[in-house]
Structure 1
Amino acid sequence: MNASVEQMERSEPRVVLSARGLRRDFGGFTAVRDVDLDVHDRRVHALIGPNGAGKTTVFNLLTKFLQPTAGKITLLGEDITRTVPDKVARKGLVRSFQISAVFPQLSVLDNVRVALQRKSGLAHQFWRPLSALNQLNSHAENLIATVGLTRERDVLAADLSYGRKRVLEMATTLALDPKVLLLDEPLAGMGQEDIGTIANLIREVAATRAVLMVEHNLSVVADLCHHVTVLQRGEILAEGNYDTVSRDPRVRTAYMGTEED
């Protein structure tokens, strides 16, 4: 565990996103059962598990793309169990999807400006001239620099590599100024250079807000995450820091089919 993780573990940040007794049934199949989850401010929390463990379903429940069959979800102390997804996002719970979601025919700068419009309220002011967006340029360029895309500022998103598209998506997500950021496999399909960029960015983001991430790259989880929840068949199998869960024989069996080293 690196020094930055150890330093943050000495503090006691508040719980900003919480789930209790979370359950989701699909007909006769229970995809998620009795999941309790606490995500703390200024920490990176990983949700891991083998394929089919229920990670994406949990994400969909937390962000309200699915309604829970049972259980309660709170955000910053407010019950959001029955709140619709767009209102949840406006309250500060923002999700970045596994598949890149940017506007391919817009430049990097314009993609970020579009995201900033929503936060600033300009998206609803259709009568304003296009030049009104220029007031967002400074903020957009700062975000672009933060994620290391300054050289691609005027490049169309369609012309970016897959990894750089994911970097751009991170910038557009941060433009919404989330209080809790949910990342669905943020490093999937990336080259080593982009993995380093995004991992460092996640670390920086977590200095001021909570991050909950689904990630299969366990070396990144070990380096970044303060708390790890392991799911198997829709239930919590183990939780704790990475060192604790990685030594758990049940987790070894779930991932490798054996308890042997």
Structure 2
Amino acid sequence: MQASLSAAPGRAGNVILCAEGLTKDFSGFTAVKNVDLRIREGSVHALIGPNGAGKTTVFNLLTKFLQPTRGRIIYRGEDITRAGAARVARMGLVRSFQISAVFPHLTLLDNVRVALQRPRYLATQWWRSVTALDTLNARAMELLDAVQLADHAHVTAAELSYGRKRALEVATTLALDPEMLLLDEPMAGMGHEDVGHIADLIRRVAQNRTVLMVEHNLNVVSQLCDTITVLARGEILAEGNYDEVSRDPRVREAYLGSEPADD
């Protein structure tokens, strides 16, 4: 398992997504303050930090579910600071959510077919017969196979384990053909076996796209991610590879508290 999770060295290329001075105020409370981020194309980049550090707020700002109070967001050289979430998704910047977002009473195949309708504009072609969706079956099965769920294609999503539901979410996200995949706590609430399965899945899908993830499981982060940005109280505390940030005394204090002074 250790070898299968290791991130390939030297995959990162040019900056695909960056934030400059990103700040978000909520009624006098500053949740995110002057955050500068550079996400390199082809990398797996993690946002980590203790509870309340501002990770999800940064995530929501980058994916345009929130508008920043100040700062800029640039995706592939284009300023998307004031763009809406739907527009940036169409540009290839696609996210998942902490809470499971599948249709529980549809089969896995139908869940993926629903996602595939958007890029093919079938969702708005209401006059077409439902059999038109059969043209999506081959691609839907490819995506289910990619997340190792092809054998369960005709099972309803409600019957899946939690880990397999998260894998299905990855398949529906990949149906939008993202250039950059943003995963919000993909391991949350999982047992050890499911964590290993989803970590391997992320590594596979990251082979030809950029991944930014918010994650609490530091064991997975240490083995999967090229770059780690540590947030604390809404600001960047440290950044680098896992060895670099784990040795930083400020990071240790943020996670573990100050060490007692010697007598």
The TM-score normalised by the length of structure 2 is: 0.94
- Partners in 2 of 1:228 and 1:54 — Cα distance? 15
- Taking a change above 3 Å as real, the CA distance of residues 4 and 99 of structure 1, as seen in their structure-2 partners, is closer
Q: 1:117-141 deviations in whole A, cap 9, x for unaligned?
A: 1121111111111111111111100
Q: 1:35-87 deviations in whole A, cap 9, x for unaligned?
A: 00011111100000000000000011001111000000011111000001101
Give the match for residue 80 of structure 1.
80
- Structure 2, unpaired ranges of 5+: none
- Say whether the 8 Å CA contact 1:41–1:208 is kept in structure 2: no
The structural deviation recorded for 1:7 is 4.3
- Say whether the 8 Å CA contact 1:147–1:197 is kept in structure 2: no
The structural deviation recorded for 1:259 is 4.4
- Partners in 2 of 1:75 and 1:147 — Cα distance? 27
Give the match for residue 213 of structure 1.
213
Q: What pairs up with 1:15-164 in 2 under 5 angstroms?
A: 15-164=15-164
- Say whether the 8 Å CA contact 1:5–1:226 is kept in structure 2: no
Give the match for residue 197 of structure 1.
197
- Say whether the 8 Å CA contact 2:163–2:198 is kept in structure 1: no
- Percentage of identical aligned residues: 65
- Say whether the 8 Å CA contact 1:252–1:259 is kept in structure 2: no
The structural deviation recorded for 1:2 is 6.0
Q: 1:79-136 deviations in whole A, cap 9, x for unaligned?
A: 0000011011101110100001011110000000100111211111111111111111
Say whether residues 1:175 and 2:175 are aligned partners.
yes
Q: What pairs up with 1:220-259 in 2 under 5 angstroms?
A: 220-259=220-259
Supply the RMSD in Å over aligned alpha carbons.
1.6
The structural deviation recorded for 1:3 is 9.1
- Say whether the 8 Å CA contact 2:16–2:40 is kept in structure 1: yes
**Which residue type is aligned with residue 77 of structure 2?**
G
- What number of residue pairs does the alignment pair up? 259
**Which residue type is aligned with residue 8 of structure 1?**
P
